[in-house]
Amino acid sequence: MRVGMKGIGEHGATRPVGLCSSQSRWWSEHDFLAKIQMVVGWSRVNTRGGPELVGLQKITQFESMPAKRAFVYILRCADRTFYIGTAKNVQLRLAVHNAGKGAKYTRPRLPVRVVWQEGPLSLTRALQREYQLKQLTRPQKQALIRGRLKVPRPR
């Protein structure tokens, strides 16, 4: 990412903007400041009391951020195969799959439907659980879906 200064405000303030090399477009000031906040922990603050002057101030106290939560789900495809994935919103992810914009595996196997889901889990635990379930054989996955198999969660 290349970063530069663009424009001089009424009070001599400059506003930072960046050029995203992968997209070759200028970010808006809001996008750029959001990226800075996300990457290095900077926050937008009003420096003088007027709405037109905005600066950056380093965050000195870190607030505890809520843990990212995710669900693990199993889809049954039209050809009766299973697809296992992780999503923050399973119903939204199902709609993406059925629109043909989801995983490459599910695109030629539409429609798909959710047959099992678990959560919410932390994102890390959900990804671990997804990997664990992908290691199961087809009969074990069928038993899990029917509720006949209990697979302990990874620690």
Structural domains of the chain sorted by starting position, each given as residue range(s) with its CATH number in brackets: 2-58 (no CATH), 69-146 (3.40.1440.10)
CB atoms within 10 A of CB 127: 14
As a whole number of angstroms, the distance between CA 82 and CA 84 comes to 7
State yes or no: cis peptide before 66, omega within 30 of 0: no
Region 2-17: what's the mean pLDDT?
A: 47
Q: Has residue 67 got a pLDDT over 90?
A: no
The SS3 call for residue 96 is helix
Query: Is pLDDT of 9 > 50?
Result: no
Q: Is the pLDDT of residue 41 over 50?
A: no
Strand order in the sheet with 2-8: 2-8, 14-20, 25-26
The residue among 97, 78, 77 whose CA lies nearest residue 86 is 97
Judge if pTM exceeds 0.75: no
Q: What is the mean pLDDT of residues 43-60?
A: 46
What does the pLDDT look like over 82-110, one tens digit per residue? 999 999 999 999 999 999 999 999 999 99
Strands (E), the chain: 2-8, 14-20, 25-26, 42-46, 54-58, 69-76, 82-87, 113-122
Residue type, 84: I
What's the pLDDT score for residue 125? 96
